[in-house]
Amino acid sequence: MSALLRVDNVGKTFVRSGKPSVEALRAINISVNEGEFASIVGASGSGKSTLLRIIDGLLEPSGGAVFVDNTRVVRPGRDRAMVFQQDSLLPWKTVIENVAYGLTLAKTPWTEASKIAERFIAMTGLTGFEGHYPHQLSGGMRQRVNVARALAVDPRILLLDEPFAALDAQTREIMQTELLSIWEKSSKTVLLITHQIDEAVFLSDRVIILSARPGTVREEISIKLPRPRNLEIKRTAKFVGFVDKIWKLIEAEVRLGLKDSQ
């Protein structure tokens, strides 16, 4: 596999008027191969979401650069699509209208846009809900719409910023299996930000661990677990071993962050 996404020596410092500057990221070097599912974990405040926004082109790095297929990222583009923690659906639009929204913004005729939207509605298990509005859906279903909307614009890279954080534990686990199924069908390159170590291990080919602020790449761990995966794998010794290994790498920084917040 070739590196589709490359983060080269990226740093980010936030300059605040009348207050000390905050260095969020320092010398980040990451590559993600085409078709790979990678995750980033780290203590709160380690700059995970900041890094994802730089990759998407929503934030400019203070140093270094991001490349997609050797082209430098300078702004958001259709080769990347972001799914945020909150579903951010348009409440006055139906499921199919929300899924097709990015296509209609790009001036795709409705006949074509709706056919594309229907494909991803089916892929995300939402067939039969095309005419529903967001308020008529559960939290898990709204996030499926969010994922379908991101996939509909056919990005090369899907960026996920804790997409299941607002869901209850049971729904979150079901959504993890749904996301794996969608990934296997779509063959997209995925980069996930999560606080849940077991979620990262369950979903990923590789887990990237960031240090406390300023975030740096502390270690990368290849997840040598067979695919396809189901939730039962979480009860195996090998799975628990990966979770424990990652937790030990960030435990001290997480505890320090909790102490500082008290």
Whether residue 255 contacts residue 48, with contact meaning beta carbons closer than 8 Å, is answered with no
**C-beta of residue 239 within 8 angstroms of C-beta of residue 233:** yes
Q: How confident is the prediction along the chain (262 residues), in pLDDT tens digits per residue?
A: 568 999 999 999 998 888 888 999 999 999 999 999 999 999 888 889 999 999 999 999 999 999 999 999 999 998 999 998 877 899 999 999 999 999 999 899 999 999 999 999 998 889 999 999 999 999 889 988 999 999 999 999 999 999 888 888 888 898 899 899 889 988 899 999 999 999 999 999 999 999 988 999 999 999 999 999 999 999 999 999 999 999 998 887 776 655 555 5
Q: Return d(Cα 247, Cα 149) in angstroms, integer.
A: 33
Whole-model pTM: value is 0.90
Spell out where 184-256 has E strands.
189-193, 206-210, 217-222
Can you give the C-alpha Rg of the chain in angstroms? 19
> CB neighbours of 109 closer than 8 A, spacing ≥ 6?
none
Contact 150, 82 (CB under 8 A): yes
Residue pair 58/132 in contact (Cβ under 8 Å)? The answer is no
